[in-house]
Amino acid sequence: MRIEIVPVFEDNYAYIVICPQTNQAAAVDPAQADPVLRRVEQLGVDLCAIWTTHHHWDHVSGHEAIVARYPSLEVLGSPNSGRIPCLTRSIGDGEQIALGSLRFRAVATPGHTLDAICYINDRVAFTGDTLFCSGCGRLFEGSAELMYQSLNDKLAVLMREDTAIYPGHEYTEKNVAFARSLTPADAELTAYGERIAALRKAEKPSVPSDWSTERRFNPFLRCQSRALAEAVGGDVGDPVAVFAEVRRRRDAY
């Protein structure tokens, strides 16, 4: 499997997933048509699908122009919002998706929006605005409890330690700064933040991350830990309340 990172807008990422055996490709959240189409043509791949993580404009704004160029494209996404342009295939939780010889699973992860879907296989996960590197999406439509379950129950069971995480935005530097503000004595987190800052200074993407890194440094995956509960004055026996408080503080950060 090959994955191309295509930066779009100010800090969004679109991705092109390619099956090396068949040359078939899918574009994940190709929110700006021109850079994605240019890369598809440079690569000479057979674009056959768009995979949508959720309906927000900075994830779906390229759909119409890309479908105009490739009218037989399959456009996947959740039907829940009714706001994904050009949708041709409504995806349900747990549904299998084929791309050439590659197999993915769609996982409904409500929280940021109610139509949020992650596309996962045993090596990579496209997590949209559900899971970021060292962060998670704002709760625009779902509750803290719903997002907590999406991350800590639904996604966690499907991840391997080395599953590569491809999120919808380049937010890592600010997310790590926020995480450091919660647990400033964590020397490994400080060192991680310095590595991320060096990458960004060199104008390189901080993505992909991997699940073991996220489990170690992402505060939204560490709400069961005593250190984090104490950092936000929460109850170690109530990780959903800790999660809600961490999210509230991140919103204000």
Active site residues: 54, 56, 58-59, 112, 129, 169
Sheet holding 209-210, edge to edge: 96-99, 102-108, 117-120, 124-128, 164-167, 209-210
Q: How far is the CB of 100 from Zn ion (least distance, A)?
A: 28
Number of residues forming the site for Zn ion (CB under 5 A) = 2
Q: Which residue has the tokens 């800590």?
A: 152
Residue 20 tokens, joined: 């090396």
Site for Zn ion in 94-113 (CB under 5 A): none
Q: What is the spatial distance between Cα 60 and Cα 191, in angstroms, rounded to a whole number?
A: 36
List 129, 170, 214, 245, residue binding Zn ion (CB under 5 A): 129
Binding status of residue 29 toward Zn ion by CB under 5 A: no
User: Of the listed pieces 18-26, 66-74, 127-135, 225-233, which binds Zn ion according to CB under 5 A?
Assistant: 127-135
Instruction: Quickly list DSSP for 200-228.
Output: HHTT-----EEHHHHHHH-GGG-TTSHHH
Q: How far is the CB of 168 from Zn ion (least distance, A)?
A: 7
List 39, 56, 154, 169, residue binding Zn ion (CB under 5 A): 56
Residue nearer to Zn ion on the CB measure, 169 or 180: 169
Handedness of CA 237, 241, 244, 245 (dihedral sign): negative
User: Of the listed pieces 13-21, 49-57, 188-196, 219-227, which binds Zn ion according to CB under 5 A?
Assistant: 49-57
Q: What is the spatial distance between Cα 91 and Cα 108, in angstroms, rounded to a whole number?
A: 9
The answer to whether the beta carbons of residues 45 and 68 sit under 8 Å apart is no
Q: What is the spatial distance between Cα 207 and Cα 133, in angstroms, rounded to a whole number?
A: 7
Q: How far is the CB of 249 from Zn ion (least distance, A)?
A: 20
Residue nearer to Zn ion on the CB measure, 129 or 245: 129
Residue nearer to Zn ion on the CB measure, 154 or 180: 154
Q: How far is the CB of 96 from Zn ion (least distance, A)?
A: 25
Q: How far is the CB of 112 from Zn ion (least distance, A)?
A: 6
Applying CB under 5 A, the residues found at the interface with Zn ion are: 56, 129
